[in-house]
A and B are shown apart, each in its own frame.
Chain A
Amino acid sequence: MLNSLSRFFMRRKNWSIPYALFLIVFVVIPLLLIVFYAFTDEEGMFTFANFRKFMMHPEAMNTFIYSIGIAIITTLVCLLLGYPAAYILSHRSLNVSKTMVVLFILPMWVNILIRTLATVALFDFLKLPLGEGALVFGMVYNFLPFMIYPIYNTLQKMDYSLVEAAQDLGANPLKVFYKVILPLSMPGIVSGIVMVFMPTVSTFAIAELLTMNNIKLFGTTVQENIYNGMWNYGAALSLIMLLLIGIMSLFTNEEDNAQNESGGVI
């Protein structure tokens, strides 16, 4: 027994088998279960009723559209604030220290609830009302590092001689930026957009804390339904969110792979 076991592990490719089984049980089957629950009713019969309920339910539909709207605004603000920051951080002649880069990434490692409560504290302290403004501020504050990091990464790996060549050939700084730097940083921008949009559209609990329960986002709708025992409807809502995110991530597959190869900041 022990002998055949050790012979089995002699072949190194067999080492992937325990993990393959683990992935099947804890990744593949759970995702299939979402699909199964989404298309069945409580008795386990096939039905489209869960999706029909979503379409007919104006509140759920409105929350869905509103969440996408908030996610788009957050992503745009992050891009407008984050791109210049990533550009300055990666610019050679400015010689920004690595520690500065770490300072920008660092908030990513602080618990998201603590960050959110800190935002609430800030608004309380400044006597600003909680609401939509606080919601967008909190989301930007939470996810800005996810925009800066990928853009910084691509800008840093950019072949700087292309910029110099453009300058030598007489392009003015504005033209160098639009014709050379911006197109070359596109992969970073795309993955930044996805990395901000996805968590913003799928968060739950964060919006409630930032708006004193006045505004609800789609993630909360999903969580509440699951919590209240409406597993089938909750699964259908999850599937809708998954489709939205799947469509988004179709744009980025290749860039993501390139980034994984290089490893992180730390």
Chain B
Amino acid sequence: MIKKIFAKGYLWLLLALLYSPILIIMIFSFTEAKVLGNWTGFSFKLYSSLFAGGMHHSLIDAIINTFVIAFIAASVSTILGSIAAVGIYNLRSPMRGVMNFTNSIPIMNPDIITGVSLFLLFVSFGVSQGFTTVVLAHIAFCAPYVVLSVMPRLKKMNPNIYEAALDLGATPFQALRKVILPEILPGMISGFILAFTLSIDDFAVTIFTIGNEGLETLSTYIYADARKGGLTPELRPLSTIIFVTVLVLLIVINKRAEKQKKE
């Protein structure tokens, strides 16, 4: 019994340590003070000025850019990666190994190496950097994760159903739509979610491929802001909103998965 309390106590202590920085930000998002740590009374002003725009137009732009880039990169990665997964699954031994290995390189590589290598690619071929290069770079490190999340679904699938559909007169494209697609859809969805979050979170690859035409994503905005010495007060409510959204989403997804397992 004592052991149990001790063990759970340790977990809570560690969680408190992990969450204390984010909690400080959340608490101080409800006060107006410019400097974090000064409490000047409860207020929603930072939240309203975050959405009011005007002053922080560039921040709103950065948020929109982040989500547009994440949406395009995740969608393209999902399509490209899923098609690739079906292809790789049907490859024979040596080629299959080569593809799997190459696919794992972007996952194993640290962000900064991916960033530098893509930067060198774009400058070597004289591609001017901006929105397109960021999207391409994000696809490059997101698609491998989609392949990895679709692959287990293909392995679990009974390979005979596809053949059966063909024998029963379905065209290959019908068989794909009616047989393979439903089987791999859950893998595609979790691949899309993973790609989307990876893209939103990314900082290292983005900063190497974004160029200097004034395009900003949330990460580069925060970075530029932090380098100027301070943290724009509006970033406090923004971080709070992002954090709570991610928290709720993950808990909901997890509860659903647990429920599905029980059924």
Contact in complex: A94, B22 (CB < 8 Å):
no
Contact in complex: B219, A113 (CB < 8 Å):
yes
Q: Is residue A231 within 8 Å, beta carbon to beta carbon, of the partner chain?
A: yes
Give 1 or 0 for each of B10-34: 1 = CB within 8 Å of chain A CB.
1100110111111011001000000
Contact in complex: B36, A22 (CB < 8 Å):
no
Contact in complex: A30, B143 (CB < 8 Å):
no
Using Cβ atoms and an 8 Å threshold, which residues of chain A touch B28?
121
Using Cβ atoms and an 8 Å threshold, which residues of chain A touch B105?
27, 31
Which residues, 203 to 231 on A, are CB-close (under 8 Å) to B? Answer: 203-205, 208-209, 219, 222-223, 226, 231
Using Cβ atoms and an 8 Å threshold, which residues of chain A touch B190?
263-264, 266
Instruction: Decide: A109 near B201, CB < 8 A? Known: A89-B11, A91-B7.
Output: yes
Q: Is residue B53 within 8 Å, beta carbon to beta carbon, of the partner chain?
A: no
Q: Is residue B165 within 8 Å, beta carbon to beta carbon, of the partner chain?
A: no
Which residues, 96 to 129 on A, are CB-close (under 8 Å) to B? Answer: 96, 98-100, 102-107, 109-115, 117-122, 124-125
From A33, A109, A234, B124 is in contact (CB under 8 Å) with A33
From A22, A106, A117, A145, B231 is in contact (CB under 8 Å) with A117
Q: Is residue A182 within 8 Å, beta carbon to beta carbon, of the partner chain?
A: no
Instruction: Decide: A26 near B86, CB < 8 A? Known: A113-B222, A125-B24.
Output: no
Instruction: Decide: A19 near B218, CB < 8 A? Known: A85-B10, A98-B258.
Output: no
Contact in complex: A33, B87 (CB < 8 Å):
no
Instruction: Decide: A22 near B143, CB < 8 A? Known: A13-B87, A13-B90, A88-B10.
Output: yes
Contact in complex: B140, A26 (CB < 8 Å):
yes
Instruction: Decide: A81 near B86, CB < 8 A? Known: A26-B118, A113-B223.
Output: no
Contact in complex: B83, A109 (CB < 8 Å):
no
Contact in complex: B25, A121 (CB < 8 Å):
yes
- Contact stretch, chosen from B40-48, B54-62, B67-75, B108-116: B108-116
- Shortest beta-carbon distance, B156 to chain A, in Å? 11
Q: Is residue B185 within 8 Å, beta carbon to beta carbon, of the partner chain?
A: no
Contact in complex: A263, B123 (CB < 8 Å):
no
Complex alpha-carbon distance, A231 and B88, angstroms: 35
Complex alpha-carbon distance, A14 and B83, angstroms: 10
Using Cβ atoms and an 8 Å threshold, which residues of chain B touch A18?
80, 83-84
Using Cβ atoms and an 8 Å threshold, which residues of chain B touch A22?
80, 139-140, 143
Interface SS of chain B: helix, strand, loop or mixed? helix
Q: Is residue A161 within 8 Å, beta carbon to beta carbon, of the partner chain?
A: no
- Shortest beta-carbon distance, A213 to chain B, in Å? 9
Which residues, 201 to 254 on B, are CB-close (under 8 Å) to A? Answer: 201, 203-204, 207-208, 218-219, 222-223, 226-227, 231, 235, 239, 242-243, 246-247, 250-251, 253-254
Using Cβ atoms and an 8 Å threshold, which residues of chain A touch B182?
none
Interface SS of chain A: helix, strand, loop or mixed? helix
Identify the interface centre among A104, A111, A209, A265: most chain B CB within 10 Å of its CB: A111
Q: Is residue A28 within 8 Å, beta carbon to beta carbon, of the partner chain?
A: yes
Which residues, 168 to 214 on A, are CB-close (under 8 Å) to B? Answer: 198-199, 201-205, 208-209
Contact in complex: A122, B102 (CB < 8 Å):
no
Beyond the given pairs A109-B250, A202-B113, A245-B113, 8 more chain A to chain B contacts, judged by CB atoms under 8 angstroms and listed by A's residue number, are A19-B80, A20-B102, A27-B102, A31-B105, A111-B203, A125-B37, A260-B148, A264-B194
Give 12 CB contacts A-B under 8 Å. A11-B90, A12-B90, A19-B84, A20-B84, A22-B140, A34-B113, A96-B8, A106-B250, A113-B203, A114-B25, A226-B116, A231-B120
Please give the residue numbers on chain B whose beta carbons come within 8 Å of chain A beta carbons, in ascending order. Answer: 4, 7-8, 10-11, 14-15, 17-22, 24-25, 28, 36-37, 80-81, 83-84, 86-92, 95, 99, 102-106, 108-114, 116-121, 123-124, 136-137, 139-140, 143, 147-149, 152, 172, 190, 193-194, 197, 200-201, 203-204, 207-208, 218-219, 222-223, 226-227, 231, 235, 239, 242-243, 246-247, 250-251, 253-255, 257-258
Counting from the closest, the 9 A-B pairs by CB-CB distance are A16-B87, A15-B87, A19-B84, A118-B21, A30-B117, A202-B110, A26-B140, A13-B90, A122-B21
